[in-house]
Amino acid sequence: MVAPNTPKYAEMKARPHTFLRLARLTAGAVLLGLLLSACNSTKTSRSYQTEAFTSESPFQYYSNQAPEKACEIARRALLSQGYQVE
């Protein structure tokens, strides 16, 4: 502890909030660093964006139906598997 009648005590009394100011600046710098690093992260591609099917894919369906009816069949098939269709 510093004695009350010393120059060091007078200096400490003149700047009582130096530690708090330094703590706030450090916390602000850390938060700013976290925010900037979050904005700089790279996005990974979704799995469906990188899918590629060959021309001999088992996921093909040929139909002799009218286009409207074929679309309805495809829509119902996708809905039955849990896909969201607009």
- CA atoms of 69 and 54, how far apart (whole Å): 26
User: Has residue 12 got a pLDDT over 90?
Assistant: no
pTM score, whole prediction: 0.33
H helix or E strand, kind and range, residue 36? helix 18-39
pLDDT tens per residue, range 48-76: 777 777 777 777 777 888 999 988 988 99
Return the C-alpha torsion angle 21, 27, 31, 37, nearest 10: 110
Which pLDDT does position 80 carry in this prediction?
Answer: 92
The confidence band for 1, taking pLDDT boundaries of 50, 70 and 90, is low
**Mean pLDDT throughout 29-53?**
76
